[in-house]
Amino acid sequence: MTRIPDFIKYVVNNYSPDEIILEIGAGYGSTKTFSEYFHKMYSVENNHKYCNLYHDNYLQVDLAEDGWYDSSKLELVLPDDYTILILDGPLGGCDPPFIKKDDKPFRSGFFRKSWDLFKKDVPIIVDDTDRDWHERDVVSFLENNNYECEKKGNFHLCLPR
């Protein structure tokens, strides 16, 4: 039996199906579950094998050499109409075994390279903050930029103040 990650259960149990999800990093579990629950969602994904599996709003954006999405291409495809942002990708800029490379921003590229592209008035859920990567850097950044963040297991819920 497949274990459903805590952040997926949290989102489905705490938000209305009418919310519009912007998911950064698609996959099998979260995208499938969210597409079955929410009426509308968008998924930014670099890996072609995860695109167009569960809904019609995949936004394919390649990773730049530094391991974050190419911001110039990301800017062109991001929707204006989302009410929750879920940061669940990219997978460290590489496929398993997820080798840490300190010179690459990975998910911290969210604020290091693309912060100005995203809405500032929506809840942001940052998954995998228990990893020893840059996910916790995202939480610290959000806390310093008018968000209140609460650790919930292996993810953080960050709400605009």
Instruction: Find how far residue 49's CA is from the centre of its chain.
Output: 17
**pLDDT tens per residue, range 82-109:** 999 999 888 754 444 445 555 666 788 8
CA gap 153, 68 in Å, rounded: 25
Contact present, 35 and 60 (Cβ < 8 Å): no
Residue 101 counted as domain residue: yes
Residue 77 lies in a domain: yes
Q: Within a domain: residue 161?
A: no
Is 117 inside a domain boundary? yes
pTM score of the predicted model: 0.89
Q: What is the pLDDT of residues 17-28, one digit of tens each?
A: 999 999 999 978
Q: Under a CB-based contact definition with an 8 Å cutoff, are residues 82 and 114 in contact? A: no
- pLDDT score recorded for residue 101: 56
- Number of domains making up the chain: 1
Residue with the two structure tokens 């997820």 = 98
| 112 belongs to a structural domain | yes
Residue type, position 132, single letter: D
Cα 99 off chain centre by: 19
Instruction: Write out the residue range of the structural domain in which residue 44 sits.
Output: 22-131+141-150
